[in-house]
Amino acid sequence: EQDSRSSLNCLLKKRKEVQEMEKIRAEKDKAFRERMKVIADRWRDLHTKRAQLKAHVERSGRTVQECEELRIQALKKNSEQREEMKKHGELLRAKMELEALSKKHQKLCKKVQKYSIFKKYLEDVVKVSQFEDISEVTSQYKLLVRIQKDLLQSQQGHKQLTEQDKVFLEQYRAKKEAEMFHYKNELVQLKLRFDQAQSDIPLWEARWAGIQNRTSTKTRKLWTIKLAIHNLYQ
């Protein structure tokens, strides 16, 4: 009976442990199913986001391609506009050059007309002069022009030399006048010194006479002393 009771207690205990284990397993299964549900939800969200991202990438790709096409079209249009502006500028420059050439042509026509009149005049000159043709007249004219130019240059050079000579003469005259003024001052100083020397001559002559008198007196005294010494020796 005791063994039956202990066996029953063991069975009850094991049954209780089994129930607890089944409860824990059921809780783990429930947590696992919930976790799997969360993972499945996340997977669906990721799949949805991936599909959305793919669609966005495709739309962005189409947008980028459209922007690139628009950029290429804008560059092409800008290049065409620049080319058109360049052609327009070249056209304006050509038009301006044409106008300048037209004005130059008009001036040349007027000059040709004047030269034709002048040529007719030269032909008349040749007829009434000793020249044989127009080239000889023009050569003689160029020679005269060159001679006149040389004369003008020589006159101008002579004038410059004359002006330089005048300047040099004025400088030389000013220099000599300054030297003469200096010499005049020196002459005045020398004359003053000469006058002073002449006024000092009587004084020096009197001094010289006094010196000669003193010298004569001392000489006589010296001879007297010499004679006295000579007499003493004798």
Instruction: Write out pLDDT tens, residues 28-59.
Output: 888 888 888 888 888 888 888 888 888 877 77
CA 3 to chain centre: 123
Whether 2 shows a pLDDT value over 60: the answer reads: no
Query: Residue 182: pLDDT band by 50, 70, 90 thresholds?
Result: confident
> How far apart are the C-alpha atoms of 220 and 102, rounded to whole Å?
131
pLDDT digits (tens, 9 = 90+) for 163-181: 887 888 888 888 888 888 8
Residues 110 and 125 sit within 8 Å (Cβ to Cβ): no
Provide the pLDDT for residue 112.
65
- 3-class state of residue 132 by DSSP: coil
CA distance 165 to 171: 10
User: C-alpha distances in angstroms, 101 versus 86, 94, 97, 98?
Assistant: 22, 10, 6, 5
Which candidate, 98, 77, 99, places its Cα nearest to that of 85? 77
Average pLDDT, the chain: 80
Asked if residue 135 lies in contact with residue 126, where contact means CB atoms within 8 angstroms, the answer is no
- With the CA atoms of 93, 95, 100 and 104 taken in that order, what torsion angle do they form, in degrees rounded to the nearest 10? 140
